[in-house]
Amino acid sequence: MGGMMLRETNLNDLYVKARALYSNAVSIAELFDDETSRLIRMKMEAQLRDLHSQIVKQLHMTKAEEDVLKCSYNQNDTVFSLTKLAAGGIIKMVSKNNEPLSAIGDQLLKKPARSHPDFGLVLVGIGPVGVPDGVQVVAVSQLARESNRAEAEVTNELKKQGQFLFNEQNFSLLIDKLIEGVREGSLTLPVSAKKLPRIKLKAYRRLEGKKVE
């Protein structure tokens, strides 16, 4: 009888130890899962920060190129206008008795009623693929000049193609919102354009007074 009780006690001890080992194994597995999830979130956050840094750098470089082009255009336009006025003045001086030649001088002296191309509007576009693969810098002014259209026409066409357009400030707000979602575990990369979190957009004003939402 005593031997049977001893064996039963040993079995109970083994059962208790087995349950403890199983509980420890589950806890360790949960710790591994938590740590793996944390590392994945950290990697996605780093990916978003790196994307933001690259896009902003490219945005500034493109804007700098636009500034150079605008400066060059203004210089050339000034030289052309001064040359035209000088030529008109000379023709008027030497053509007092020559009406056709005098008319040419009058035309050269007139201020040209021509529109000047736009420079400097550079935005961040996010296509249907979303973040990160659908993010790119869009030189709106350059596209407008190349297609001889207004900037508003270009942005409207891009939106029809499924592009979401952001200025630098709004893009930074969006990235912050995405990082917040990643940290909370409510978002994982990639994020399609349709699932981008809503942010309070701040209008981007051009020096000329134009406004892009």
pLDDT tens-digit series, residues 115-141: 677 888 999 999 999 999 999 999 999
C-alpha 58/C-alpha 56 separation (Å) is 5
Three-class secondary structure of residue 126 per DSSP: strand
Place of tokens 């949960």: 30
Q: Is the dihedral of CA 53, 55, 59, 65 positive or negative?
A: positive
Structural domain boundaries enclosing 202: 33-61+117-212
Q: Running DSSP on this structure, what letter comes out for residue 186?
A: S
Q: 81 in a domain, yes or no?
A: no
Comparing C-alpha atoms, which of 133, 209, 112, 123 is closest to residue 158? 123
Following DSSP, what letter does each residue of 42-80 receive, concatenated? HHHHHHHHHHHHHHHHHHHHHHHHHHHHHHHHHHHHHHH
User: Which amino acid, one-letter code, is at 122?
Assistant: V
Q: 66 in a domain, yes or no?
A: no
User: For position 132, what pLDDT does the model report?
Assistant: 95
User: Which residues, given as ranges, of the chain have pLDDT below 50?
Assistant: 1-3, 6, 80, 82, 84-85, 87-89, 98, 101, 104-105, 108-109, 113-114, 204-213
Q: 125 in a domain, yes or no?
A: yes
pTM for the full model? 0.65
Q: How many domains does the chain have?
A: 1
Q: Running DSSP on this structure, what letter comes out for residue 197?
A: P
C-alpha 120/C-alpha 70 separation (Å) is 8
In terms of phi and psi (left: phi > 0; alpha: psi -120 to 50; beta: otherwise), the region of 212 is beta
Q: 205 in a domain, yes or no?
A: yes
Q: 51 in a domain, yes or no?
A: yes
Q: 10 in a domain, yes or no?
A: no
